[in-house]
Chain A
Amino acid sequence: MKLWIIFFASILTNNIVLTYFLGICPFLAMTAQISTAAGMGFAVTFVMTMTCAIIWPINHFLLAPFNAQYLQLIVYILVIAVLVQVVELVIDRYYPILYARMGVFLSLITVNCAILGVALFMTLRNYGYIESIVFSTGSGIGWMIAAIAMAGARAKLRFSNIPEPLKGMGISLVIAAILSMGFMGFAGWINLR
């Protein structure tokens, strides 16, 4: 039961980009079209889940027993960088069509603060293995849903008369503000006893 709650809460009430502001750069840059946003969303979810799946054992079996938690930052970022490279190679080799469509996103993901952020949150909250997987997948899906919503809103605004200084990043932020207000409305929904 708790797993479902973590899952849905990461998507709605604790949305990684609308509540915790992680992954903003691609959220603003890659949401000009819904297909781009969806593609990026899939890539983010995939990398996020894989990263946490690998980082959790590293933290629990390598760092914690040696009391080396202060190395977390370096180890995490290195793991993320290596993992993204490996994933890129694998996809390019075995699924070239998929790579042609989404390969470019993968390189951008390394510096995506969302990946490192989710890993850090998972560590901070002391999740078990399954909880970490659920949390990271949920966060990725939450990012994707927010990105698609943002892309949809921007598509509608394509022919609107936006003031010049506000075009692009500015108006996207305003859309994000309204989106996050909307998501805040989910706050009371988890009412299970």
Chain B
Amino acid sequence: MNLDRKTAHRIFIDGVWINNPIAITGLGLCSALAVTGRVKYALTMSAGVMFVNLLSSVAVSVIRKKIEPRVRMAVYTLIIAVLVICFDRFLKAFYPLISGELGPYVGLIITNCVIFGRAEVFASKNSPLLSAIDALGHSTGYAMALIFVSVVRELFASGTIFGYNMFSPAFKPWVVMEMSPGAFLVLAVYIWIVRFIQNVTERKQA
């Protein structure tokens, strides 16, 4: 198996930046808004998505030649669901506080379009190694978006990042940042920034 460094690099960058899941393709938004109240939760969710994405893409890629076309959707769903259940149980067992806060949103990773999309679009047509790189790229891009939004939200809503105080005690919390309007706004800003840097125009979108 000869892996061209350039190919690997290209696939990875495509996932992280050029087709950044949230800013460019607009997939996986539900969790980007729901769990970004604190950096801790955003990181946990990113880890979960990366775990499920990586393993599901590799699994789909390994069996891609043997799967009957008509059952592939069902099989993808099964694979992703099993992985999500594993991650959910893992959190409940070893990080119960975080699991309690994230609640049903961990289960909703199943419907995360990023994971399903990569399986259908890439992993079903490429080798396991390339699929793994693709999955890592996209989930890193996803993590980037979540970290940006959660850092801004947590910083302004409670003056902390990952629980560490950034401002003096005189800081007055900007409460709306912790609630829905703040989430929508910060995400809009993130998309604005990424699209501005990449010079994306609406016409370029599919």
B145, chain A: closest CB distance, angstroms:
12
Complex interface bits, B124-168 against A, C-beta within 8 A gives 1, otherwise 0: 000000000000000000000000000000000000000000000
Contact residue among A22, A168, A177, A181 (Cβ-Cβ distance under 8 Å from B202): A168
Please provide the chain A residues from 168 to 193 with a CB less than 8 Å away from any CB of chain B in the complex.
168-171, 173-174, 176-178, 180-181, 184
Whether the pair B188, A174 counts as a contact (CB closer than 8 A) is yes
Tell me whether B2 is interfacial, beta carbon within 8 Å.
Answer: no
A35 and B183 CA atoms in complex are apart in Å by 27
| Residue A104 lies at the interface, judged by CB distance under 8 Å to chain B | no
Q: How far is the CA of A16 from the CA of B193 in the complex (A)?
A: 28
A165 to B30 alpha-carbon distance, docked (Å): 21
CB-based contact A177/B34 at 8 Å: no
Interface contact A18-B180, CB-CB below 8 Å:
yes
Contact A164 B185 (CB under 8 A): no
In this assembly, does B45 line the interface, its C-beta being within 8 Å of a C-beta of chain A? Answer: no
In angstroms, how far is the closest chain A Cβ from the Cβ of B166? 24
> In whole angstroms, what is the CA distance A70 to B34 when docked?
23
Stretch at the interface among B12-20, B57-65, B84-92: B84-92
Task: Please determine whether A173 and B184 come into contact, CB atoms closer than 8 angstroms.
Answer: yes
Complex CA distance for A22 and B113, rounded to whole angstroms:
13
The interface size of chain B toward A, counting residues with CB under 8 Å, comes to 46
Q: Which of B85, B179, B185 contacts A184 (CB 8 A)?
A: B179
Interfacial chain B residues near A29, Cβ < 8 Å = 26
Contacts of A177 in B (CB 8 A): 180-185, 188
Q: Is the CB of A180 within 8 A of B180?
A: yes
Give every chain B residue within 8 A of A111 (Cβ-Cβ). Answer: 111, 113, 116
A73 and B77 form a contact (CB under 8 A): no
Interface residues of A in 89-147 (CB under 8 A from B): 111-113, 116-117, 120-121, 124
**Considering the complex, which residues of chain B in the window 161-204 have a beta carbon less than 8 Å from any beta carbon of chain A?**
176, 179-185, 187-188, 191-196, 200-202
Contact status B108-A70, CB under 8 Å: no
**Does B188 contact A171, Cβ atoms closer than 8 Å?**
yes
| Residue pair B107, A120 in contact (C-beta under 8 Å) | yes
Name which residue of chain B comes closest to A168, CB basis: B202
Q: Is the CB of B113 within 8 A of A120?
A: no
| B110 beta carbon closer than 8 Å to chain A | yes
B49 at the interface (CB under 8 A from A): no
A interface SS class: helix
A157 in contact (CB, < 8 A): no
Assess whether A25 is in contact with B33, with CB atoms less than 8 Å apart: no
**Bound-state Cα–Cα, A81 to B75, Å:** 12
B82 to chain A, nearest CB (A): 7
Please judge, given known A-B contacts A164-B202, A173-B191, whether A28 and B26 are in contact too, CB under 8 Å.
yes
- Decide if A4 is an interface residue (CB 8 Å cutoff): no
Known contacts A166-B188, A180-B181; A116/B78 CB under 8 A: no
Closest partner residue, chain B, to A78 (CB atom): B77
Nearest 5 CB-CB pairings of A with B: A165-B195, A177-B184, A173-B188, A120-B104, A113-B111
The interface of chain A, by Cβ under 8 A from chain B, is 18-25, 28-29, 70, 72-74, 77-78, 81, 111-113, 116-117, 120-121, 124, 163-171, 173-174, 176-178, 180-181, 184
Q: List 20 A-B contacts (CB under 8 A).
A: A19-B180, A21-B31, A21-B33, A23-B30, A25-B27, A25-B113, A73-B107, A74-B82, A111-B116, A113-B112, A117-B104, A124-B104, A165-B200, A169-B26, A170-B192, A173-B184, A173-B188, A177-B184, A180-B181, A181-B181
